[in-house]
Chain A
Amino acid sequence: MTAETIIQSLASGLLMGLLYGLIAVGLALIFGLMDVVNFAHGEFLMIAMYATFFLFAFFAIDPLLSAPLVAAALFVFGAIVYLLIVRFAVRAKANAGMVQIFSTFGLAIVMRGLAQFFFTPDYRSVTNSWLGGKTISIGGIFLPEPQLVGALVSIAAFAGLYFFINRTDFGRALEATREDAGAVALVGIDKNRVFALGWGLGAALVGLAGAIMAIFFYVYPDVGASFALIAYVTVALGGFGSVFGAFAGGIIVGLVEATTALILPPSLKSVGIYAVYLLVVFVRPRGLFGSM
């Protein structure tokens, strides 16, 4: 193993990690806002990938152009999911934790079933997109262009999110609702509206990630499941609810995955991520950046 292979795989690990962060940040945002884990998060990613695929296959819109469209569609979808399901789930008087987990889990199963029904279990891929399969060499290190662009989009999205939360009225309403949902009602902020917009925003971010993922990853009904677990680990690693934590968590997960792949057989590469998650929560039960 030469120094070059190590740098090479760490570099691609870093890019993938930034994408993991983008996939996971919606989850962290929603959790921070209302203490709910969306167990259908992976399926949100899945429909975003399908949307990108179909826009490409039928209308020849390149994923880079369709990404904003997909994100907008997911925004609407996320808000609808909140209004139709989650709004009622958080009101549960008995078994509250169970209701939250299984109402979104049920949604995930339905979405996976619908995808199998309408799109068949076949693996599909976006072929011949602008970036697909291309690599770029920077100082002797080869980086796949889709992942590189994905990483840049991720950094831009995090920067935008930071600005949005700290500098806009809606961002302040979001923060205020996260602090104390009862009190914001007293100053005339509609809690439900903020929650619905929060879900929309969370879904839009995973939609953006899905559009990029579709460039270089197969699209199939169960594709969400494998990335969902990585997203939960990413979010939990950073500390549930911490947007910055998701960013850092993503990078850690990407680097750990790349390192594990160097040491263990490729089929075991996820073991490293899972082990790191366990190690972190055993030492810090609320993740790296979660409030105690």
Chain B
Amino acid sequence: MDKDFTRRRRRELIVAFCLAAVAALVPLFVKDVYVQNVMVLTLMYAALSQSWNILSGYCGQISLGHALYFGLGAYTTALLFTKFGVLPWFGMLAGGALSALIAMALGYPCFRLRGHYFVIATIVIAEIGLLLIQNWDWAGAALGIDIPVRGDSWLKFQFTRSKLPYFYFALALACVAWFVTWWLEDSKWGYWWRAVKDNPDAAESLGVVVFNSKMGAAAVSAFLVAVGGSFYAQFVSYIDPESVMGFQFSLLMALPAVLGGIGTLWGPVLGAVILIPLTELTRSFIGGSGRGVDLIVYGTLIVLISLALPRGLVSLFAWPKFLWRKAAVR
């Protein structure tokens, strides 16, 4: 059993490495800028959803307010760069650290709440953040911030001619988020989180410090999401409150994980790879004439999958093995 487990963990690592290597080669063959753009977004959402999954999937604290951390990351980087000339790389770390701190500060009162009271608190807090930024003149208020273009360089993390550097950064971010999840899954934190998710009272009685483990999950999750936000600010080079802190981001971060399999290692990746291209394609193919079709498509998908496959699409991969075992028993 133990050996099986170690082997499975190692196999996951190898599969992830192979997938990342293949993904890294794709842009060499696909030169179309539109497709590359979709790939960057897919990888970004895979990373964001993977990070969201740490708090909401593994630890079971469903947050629909992660747009707050995404926006904090984007704004910290953009403000530090435009107002003080601080390089985006430092901005990224600063944004991540700030978000982690804020996540813990907010977690302190919020983690006492359970179920729907918690979910609504996360939505409400992100909404307060959005309203405050919209009314903060120094930060550009509702108009947002235009990040000035100072030429292509890795130092300033700006590229106007090619999408490739963004692609590789997004890939790296997705890999980091995946690896952090993989690593935490088998750490004491991972076990605590699952215990807290299943039954916080039982976990507490068995010596899990429920409160601290929620705080840990919130900090890691917020840090990674904020780094994603910093990346997004550099990628689009123009941010405004609604476009980085709006509720739709909270939702878009959650959906890949929900679709792929909440609280699973591969769920967010699988969900993002299906959901993001699908949304982008319906948007551009049906486009102008049929506004709302993208919403209809993925809304339907969410309803059907959450009803038919509550464990997400990854549970489909368990079926062949399950059927095979059943056949072997016979």
Which residues in A have some Cβ–Cβ distance to B below 8 Å? 31, 37, 85, 88-89, 92-99, 101-103, 105-117, 120-121, 221, 225, 229, 232-233, 236, 240, 265, 267-268, 270-271, 274-275, 277-278, 281-282, 285-287
Residues of A within 8 A of B301 (CB): 106
Q: B293 in the interface, Cβ–Cβ < 8 Å?
A: yes
Whether A278 contacts B112 by the Cβ 8 Å rule is no
The residue on A at minimum CB distance from B315 is A94
Whether B299 contacts A99 by the Cβ 8 Å rule is no
The residue on B at minimum CB distance from A113 is B295
Whether A98 contacts B306 by the Cβ 8 Å rule is yes
Whether A282 contacts B112 by the Cβ 8 Å rule is yes
Residues of B within 8 A of A99 (CB): 306-307, 310
Contact partner of A278 (CB less than 8 A), chosen from B124, B132, B297, is B124
Q: B316 in the interface, Cβ–Cβ < 8 Å?
A: no
The residue on A at minimum CB distance from B297 is A113
Task: Knowing A267-B131, A270-B127, A278-B125, say if A109 contacts B302 (CB, 8 Å).
Answer: yes
Whether B302 contacts A88 by the Cβ 8 Å rule is no
Nearest CB in chain B: distance from A102 CB, A = 4
A95 CA / B311 CA spacing, docked (Å)? 7
Whether A106 contacts B310 by the Cβ 8 Å rule is no
Contact partner of A267 (CB less than 8 A), chosen from B116, B127, B134, B290, is B134
Task: Knowing A110-B299, A113-B293, A267-B134, say if A240 contacts B116 (CB, 8 Å).
Answer: yes
Q: B113 in the interface, Cβ–Cβ < 8 Å?
A: yes
Q: B222 in the interface, Cβ–Cβ < 8 Å?
A: no
Whether B299 contacts A236 by the Cβ 8 Å rule is no
Whether B311 contacts A271 by the Cβ 8 Å rule is no
Whether A274 contacts B124 by the Cβ 8 Å rule is yes
Whether A102 contacts B120 by the Cβ 8 Å rule is no
Whether B120 contacts A110 by the Cβ 8 Å rule is no
Whether B124 contacts A277 by the Cβ 8 Å rule is yes
Whether A105 contacts B131 by the Cβ 8 Å rule is no
Residues of B within 8 A of A282 (CB): 109, 112
Contact partner of A117 (CB less than 8 A), chosen from B124, B293, B310, is B293
Chain B facing A: main interface SS: helix
Q: Which of B247, B297, B298, B306 has the most CB of A within 10 A?
A: B306
A156 CA / B300 CA spacing, docked (Å)? 37
Chain A facing B: main interface SS: helix
Task: Knowing A268-B131, A270-B127, say if A102 contacts B117 (CB, 8 Å).
Answer: no
Whether A110 contacts B125 by the Cβ 8 Å rule is no
Contact partner of B292 (CB less than 8 A), chosen from A37, A106, A107, A115, is A115
The residue on A at minimum CB distance from B263 is A95
Residues of A within 8 A of B306 (CB): 89, 92, 98-99, 102-103, 106
A95 CA / B98 CA spacing, docked (Å)? 31
Residues of A within 8 A of B294 (CB): 113
Q: B291 in the interface, Cβ–Cβ < 8 Å?
A: yes
The residue on B at minimum CB distance from A265 is B135
9 A–B contacts, CB within 8 A, in A order: A88-B307, A92-B307, A106-B300, A106-B304, A113-B297, A117-B290, A120-B291, A268-B135, A281-B113
Whether A114 contacts B292 by the Cβ 8 Å rule is yes
Interface mask (B275-312 → A, CB under 8 Å = 1, otherwise 0): 00000000000000011111111111111101100110
Known: A99-B310, A117-B293. 12 other contacts (CB 8 A): A103-B303, A106-B302, A109-B299, A110-B296, A268-B132, A268-B135, A270-B127, A271-B128, A271-B132, A278-B109, A278-B125, A287-B117
Whether B127 contacts A229 by the Cβ 8 Å rule is yes
Q: B115 in the interface, Cβ–Cβ < 8 Å?
A: yes
Nearest CB in chain A: distance from B309 CB, A = 9
Interface positions, chain B 84-128, Cβ under 8 Å from A, are 109, 112-117, 119-121, 123-125, 127-128
Residues of B within 8 A of A281 (CB): 113, 117, 121
Whether B258 contacts A98 by the Cβ 8 Å rule is yes
Q: B251 in the interface, Cβ–Cβ < 8 Å?
A: yes
The residue on B at minimum CB distance from A37 is B116
Contact partner of B302 (CB less than 8 A), chosen from A102, A225, A278, is A102
